[in-house]
Structures are given as C-alpha cells and as structure tokens.
Amino acid sequence: MADFLTDKPSKLERAFLVGVQNDGMAEGEGAELLLELKELVENLRIKVERSTLVNLRRPTPSLLLGSGKAQELVDLAKADGVDVIVFDEALSPAQQRNWEELSGLAVIDRQEVILEIFADRAHTREAMLQVALARMEYSLPRLTRAWTHLSRQRGKGAMGGEGETQLENDRRTVRDRITHLKVELASVVKQRDIQRRKRQRVPIPTCAIVGYTNAGKSTLLNSLTGAQVLAANKLFATLDPTTRQLVLRGNQKLLVTDTVGFIRRLPHGLVEAFKATLEEVIVADFLVHVVDVTNPNFEQHHATTLGVLAELGASDQTIVTVFNKVDAANPAMIARARGLVPDALFVSAISREGLDALEGRCLELIAEAHSATELLVPHTRYDVIARLHAVGHVQSEEQEDEGVRLFGRFPPTQAAFFAPFVVNAK
Ligand SMILES: Nc1nc2c(ncn2[C@@H]2O[C@H](COP(=O)(O)OP(=O)(O)OP(=O)(O)O)[C@@H](O)[C@H]2O)c(=O)[nH]1
Ligand SMILES: [Mg+2]
C-alpha cells in the first residue's frame, strides 16, 4: 500500500472552511464552532483563506449539503485557489469521497483536523500509540480517498480491477496494524497500572484537573505544585497525564493529575483511545474543573467538559469548578460565570490570585472524602500511628496510659487496616 503513515508529499497549505448552522443548534453556535475550527486548522500551520457558514435544514446522504450549494462552494474554493476544504460537521466516508470527486481537492472534517493535531503533539510512547490507533480506525473506512493525513496518497484515485485487490490488501494491512497497536498499548497501559498501584500502596488523596483545551490546567498544576509541565497557548499542549504532589496546610498531601484538554466534537475514537489515560479522572477523590473565564464561549466549554466526563463514566464525581484567568477578565464575564456556577472559585493560575481559596476547598473535600475518626492505638503498635501520619491526616495525638489517642482521617481504602483501633467514628 502507499505508505500513508510516512509519506509527506504535497502538504496542504491553504484551506476553505465550511461550517453548518442547523435548526437544532443555539443561535450563533455554528459561527462559534467555525471560529474554533479556524484556530484548529491554523494550529496545523494551514492558512485559512475563507470561512463560510451554511444554513442546513436537511442534510443529504451524498454531500451533506444540497448539490447546488455544494457546487457553489466548490466554485468559490477554486476561485480562492485553496487545496483543502474543511467541514466542521463530521462527514461520512461516502460524503467525503463524493466531495473529493466533485472538487478535485482534499476534503476533510473537524475530526480529522483534531486527529492531526493530536498526532502532532503526541510525544510519549503511550500517547503516540493512542493517537495512531485512533487515526487507523478513522482511516479504515476511508481507504479509497486520494488524500489522507493531509497528504496525497501515491497511486490512489483511479481504482481498476487491480485497485480492488489493492484495496483489500490495504484494508488487511490497516486491520493488522490496529491489532498490533492494541497489543502494544495494552502492555504500555499495564506498566502505568503497576505504577499507579505502587502509588496506592501509600494512598494519598488524589484529584484530577480537567477542562476544555487551553483553559490553563497545566499552568494551574505548575502554580500549585511547582511542577514544570509544558503550558502553551496552543490547543492540546498536554496529552499525557502528569501527577505531582501538593502539600497543603497541616502537611496534608494531595496528588494532583493534569489531563488532556477536551473540545467540542472530540472524535469518538479519541475519547475511546484516551479512556485508559483518563482513568485518573475516574479514580480521583475529586475533580478540579478549570474554565477559561476570558473565553466568550466558556458556557459551551463548561458543558462540553461535563459531557465528556459523562462519557467517561465520571458524572458522579465531586467537582470543584474553577474559573481561571481572572487577571484578564472583566466584571461582566465574572458575573456571567457566577450565574453559571454559583459556588465556583475564581483564580488566576498566573498571578496566583485565589489559589489559597482553592487549596482551602481541596482540604475541605479531602476531609469529606476521608471520614474523621477517633482511634486508640496501643503503645506497642507504633506502626499504626506512623501509617496514619503517612496516608491520612492527624489532627491531634495524646499519650494516655492505655495507648495513644488520635483524632484524624484516613482514606476509605485503608478502613480495614485501621478498623481495630477505631473508637468512635463520626
Ligand atoms: N492571563 C492568564 N493566562 C493564563 C492563565 N493561566 C493560563 N494562562 C495561559 O493560557 C494558555 C494555556 O495554558 P495551559 O496551562 O497550557 O492550558 P491547558 O488547559 O493545560 O491546555 P491544554 O493542555 O492544551 O489542554 C497559556 O498561554 C497560559 O499562559 C491565567 O491565570 N491568566
Ligand atoms: Mg495542558
């Protein structure tokens, strides 16, 4: 098969974007998505020559849009001299092929743009495997395309009898690669599992930072813990979870994990691919949901993140909503944010404003997650006291004749260990 994994001929350079506004969408939503698509496409260093929003009442199976409208757009695209048409709406493999035939240009959709950005940003073995898998699954039903991964495939296009055989071979090759990738991924994920289990042996409370891409999650982790995670003004700067320890007041420890950013219309294959990585989100004691209050669309960002969390099976998690970037926000935006989530916190990961309050809230949540308990430990069992100091939080400790009386908390996973010494659970 033409090696579309390594081939990089004739890179696409100039794009024509097509957004869709339909009856089911809020007013202005199509336009906002189109603006976001522009940012995504520019992230791939492709110049956007024109963006068009189309009102769509009834999608058609062959081209999504009506054929008259389609021809009109093709003419515009050609007049602009672009080499790629990008749809915000997901195109079926057939629609994509029909558009490519009609226009003679590369035609891709938002999903493919996001996959390309992820491919660009993946650095660790696991992230690269996850993204490669999602891309393979995306391309499997699309092998007859002349274009893939933003490059022209060699020897594709005119499919004769021999082409059919070629297509069968290509399908088999891709399926084999998918199988191999899954096997390799399983072993990488297992490695990480072992690391997590090691961590659980000294169970410290955990929280995961989640939120829309570019909200400031990595910056927040860095400010809270002094970590040095890459934070950058680009989408999907972070793909791999990073965990750092935060030491709160009273020497209470908290493990904080930074996660991949979410976005509207995240390709389903990617959510699937990242589920293993996002397990941190499901097992965390609570979540810190970071929202960029300076982004005019923060309501949608907020809703999208909650949607992805639901998809991950994490809807029941306790969430602290944190509106970030207050240093750059105006009072009207802050009022709007307060209306959206009345008990939210307002911080600036950069100026550090509000971080004390956030740490305070974390302490409260840890206290809630780990029930406060009175223990009486015999003098012979100093190991129990040491363990409580290590994994839990000790509020008071008094020497008495029959042992040491402690008041403190420990994680629920340790309940069986401490149970014999519990005097009076509150
Ligand atoms: N003004 C201002 N900018 C911020 C603040 N926090 C983060 N930023 C900026 O926002 C941009 C994105 O920050 P990141 O921390 O990389 O965002 P992220 O949520 O980790 O993004 P992804 O990893 O791409 O999902 C960077 O340019 C940061 O400098 C803040 O409190 N105030
Ligand atoms: Mg990040």
419 residue type, one letter? A
For a pocket test of ligand 1, which of 43, 214, 346 has the largest count of ligand atoms closer than 8 A to its C-beta? 214
Q: What are the pLDDT digits (tens) for 208-228?
A: 999 998 999 999 999 999 877
pLDDT tens digits, the chain, 426 residues: what are they? 333 433 334 578 999 999 999 888 888 888 989 999 999 999 889 999 999 999 998 999 999 999 999 999 999 999 999 999 999 999 999 999 999 999 999 999 999 999 888 888 888 888 889 889 998 988 888 887 655 555 555 444 444 445 677 778 888 888 999 999 999 988 888 877 777 666 665 568 889 999 998 999 999 999 999 877 777 777 777 777 788 899 999 889 999 999 888 888 877 777 777 776 677 788 788 999 999 999 988 998 999 999 989 988 888 788 999 999 999 999 999 999 999 999 999 999 999 999 999 999 999 998 877 666 889 999 999 999 999 888 877 877 889 999 999 988 787 778 889 989 998 654
Best CA proximity match to 51, nearest among 103, 110, 91, 95: 110
For residue 323 and ligand 1, the question of a CB distance below 6 A is answered with: no
Domain with CATH 3.40.50.300 in the chain: 204-368
53 residue type, one letter? L
Closest ligand 1 atom, CA of 234?
A: 24
Is beta strand 14-22 parallel, antiparallel or unpaired with respect to 47-56?
Answer: parallel
The ligand whose atoms approach the alpha carbon of 349 most closely is 1
How far away, in angstroms, is 210 Cα from ligand 2 center?
9
Q: Which residues place a Cβ less than 5 A from the ion ligand 2?
A: 217-218, 237-238
CATH architecture of structural domain 14-120: 3-Layer(aba) Sandwich (3.40)
Domain with CATH 3.40.50.11060 in the chain: 14-120
pLDDT for position 226 = 85
Closest ligand 1 atom, CA of 219?
A: 15
The answer to whether 165 and 145 are in contact (CB under 8 A) is no
CATH of region 370-425? 3.30.70
Residue nearest to atom 2 of ligand 1 (CA): 325
b vs e for 192-202, b when ≥16 Cβ sit within 10 Å of the residue's Cβ? beeeeeeeeee
SS (H, E, C) 167-227: HHHHHHHHHHHHHHHHHHHHHHHHHHHHHHHHHHHCCCCEEEEEEECCCCHHHHHHHHHCC
How far away, in angstroms, is 289 Cα from ligand 2 center?
13
Over the chain, what is the mean pLDDT? Answer: 85
Would you identify the CATH topology of the domain 204-368? Rossmann fold (3.40.50)
Closest ligand 1 atom, CA of 214?
A: 21
Best CA proximity match to 19, nearest among 65, 62, 71: 65
How far away, in angstroms, is 34 Cα from ligand 2 center?
23
Q: Using CA atoms, how far apart are residues 239 and 289, in angstroms rounded to an integer?
A: 17
Residue nearest to atom 16 of ligand 1 (CA): 231
How far away, in angstroms, is 381 Cα from ligand 1 center?
48
For residue 231 and ligand 1, the question of a CB distance below 6 A is answered with: yes
For a pocket test of ligand 1, which of 114, 117, 219, 260 has the largest count of ligand atoms closer than 8 A to its C-beta? 219
For residue 135 and ligand 1, the question of a CB distance below 6 A is answered with: no
How far away, in angstroms, is 280 Cα from ligand 1 center?
21
For residue 257 and ligand 1, the question of a CB distance below 6 A is answered with: no
pLDDT for position 266 = 78
Residue nearest to atom 4 of ligand 1 (CA): 325
How far away, in angstroms, is 260 Cα from ligand 2 center?
6
